Amino acid sequence: MANIDAPFGLRPVGEIGSDIQNGGTSKYLIVSGETDVIMKGDLVKLEASGYITLSSDSDAVQAIGVFNGCFYNDPTTQKPTWKNYYPGSITVSIGTIDAYVYDDPNKLYEIQGDGVIAQSSVGRNSNIVYAVGNTVNGQSKTEMNSTTENAGVTGQLRIIRICEDPDNSDISATDANWIVRINEHQYYNNGLGV
């Protein structure tokens, strides 16, 4: 059966060890005027400046977590504004741009693969394939890269298992959804700061 090709970035689904998935996020800041567009479900990284930015597929920096929306005072209307995504190039004159991030290093996520990924890939690492998301609903279109999955190599994600969604769990076809953990996580892999 063919899987449904509908990438959505990283979507939180649980915790390692069946801990309670509470959906909690932490607040970080996006620097005023940041040009990168950041969608709900995109990986983000913490810069040396203390602000977060988009973490793309070519990024060697450890991720801080997965973006879940932002809050700021609209620079035109000065009205408090919540968005599922950061549209880029917002320069606020009042307040800050608050970003909400799933930053628990033990959180598990569901992500769609961009090709066929075999059962033997469980336990291996892979990177993401970044794609600009949908500005109507703010959803990411990032996928897991099926060509970077190899034994014994580093990668942004650790493959845990196939998802249980009957519409996207055929591992013999492209676009299957997988359960992953952020492998290269700022709070998990080492004690080095930014």
**Enclosing domain of residue 36:** 23-102
Is the pLDDT at 191 greater than 60, yes or no? no
Q: Tell me, yes or no, if the pTM score tops 0.85.
A: yes
pLDDT band at 137; cut points 50, 70, 90? very high
The pLDDT of residue 18 is: 76
Q: Which run of H or of E encompasses 170?
A: none
Three-state secondary structure of 58-106: CCCCCEEEEEEEEEEECCCCCCEEEECCECCCCCCCCCCEEEEEECCCC
The pLDDT of residue 123 is: 92
Signed CA dihedral, 45, 4, 110, 119: sign only: negative
Instruction: Report the pLDDT averaged over residues 187-192.
Output: 63
Cβ partners under 8 Å of residue 28, min gap 6 = 44, 46, 51, 52, 64, 98, 99, 100, 101, 103
Is the same domain home to 31 and 88? Answer: yes
Is the same domain home to 76 and 134? Answer: no
Is the same domain home to 167 and 130? Answer: yes
In 10 A of CB 131, how many CB atoms?
A: 16
Domain count, the chain: 2
Which of 38, 73, 102 finishes a domain? 102
pLDDT band at 160; cut points 50, 70, 90? very high
Instruction: Report the pLDDT averaged over residues 17-27.
Output: 84
Which of 102, 134, 154 finishes a domain? 102
The pLDDT of residue 194 is: 40
C-alpha 145/C-alpha 155 separation (Å) is 10
pLDDT band at 56; cut points 50, 70, 90? confident
The pLDDT of residue 115 is: 92
Provide the mean pLDDT of the chain: 91
Closest of 184, 153, 159, 160 to residue 45, by C-alpha = 184
